[in-house]
Amino acid sequence: MAVDVYLNFNGNCREAAEFYAEVFNTEKPDIMTFGESPQSPEYKLPEEAKDLVMHTRLNISGSNVMFSDTFPGSPFIQGNNISLAFVGKNEEEIRSAFDKLKEGGSVGMELQETFWSKCYGSLKDKFGIEWQFSHESAELQ
C-alpha cells in the first residue's frame, strides 16, 4: 500500500511532467491522453480534451508522483492542485479507508470499477484534503 502525490495542471501537464523528468533525471514520462482512453458512446469527448494528459507518472528518488490535466470545465485553482493517492492491492483496506475519510467530507466519485482499476474513487475529507483511491492489480496495468 502506498500514498502517492497527485498533481493536476490546467493544460500544461505534459510540459510540467517533462520538465520534472529532466530536473530529477528520470525516464521520460509515458503519457496517456484523454483521447487515448476508452470512450463512452453516451458521451462525446470534447475536441479540446483529446490531447490533454489524463495520466502520467514519474518515479522521483523512489517516490511516485502522478500528474494529469484537469478536464475542460473542471475547477482549477493553482496551489490547490494536489491530492493524495492511496494505491494498493487490498480492496478491503481501500474501502475501509475510503469509508472512514468520507465521514464529514464530500465524495467526488464513489468507489467503482473503471478501465484502469477494479476499485477507484475520490473524495475531500473533513479537513479539505483531496484523496484518490485505486486498487492496483496486475490484470489492469
Out of 41, 69, 97, pick the residue that ends a domain. 69
Average pLDDT, the chain: 90
Same domain, 64 and 88: no
| Domain boundary pick from 69, 92, 118 | 69
Q: Provide the residue count of the chain.
A: 141
Among residues 51, 45, 3, 7, the alpha carbon closest in space to that of 31 is found at 51
Q: Does residue 14 sit in the same domain as residue 62?
A: yes
pLDDT of res. 140: 41
What whole-number distance in Å separates Cα of residue 72 and Cα of residue 127?
Answer: 26
Q: Which structural domain range is residue 56 located in?
A: 5-69
E-strand ranges in 43-95 read 53-60, 63-69, 82-88
Among all chains, which residue has been given the C-alpha cell 492542485? 81
Contact 89, 31 (CB under 8 A): no
Average pLDDT over residues 113-141: 84
Task: Give the residue carrying C-alpha cell 498533481.
Answer: 7
Q: Kindly report, residue by residue over 48-105, the tens digit of the pLDDT.
A: 999 999 999 999 888 899 999 999 888 888 877 888 988 888 999 999 999 999 999 9
In percent, how much of the chain has pLDDT > 70? 96
Q: Are residue 63 and residue 88 in the same domain, yes or no?
A: no
DSSP state of 127: T
91/130 same-domain check:
yes
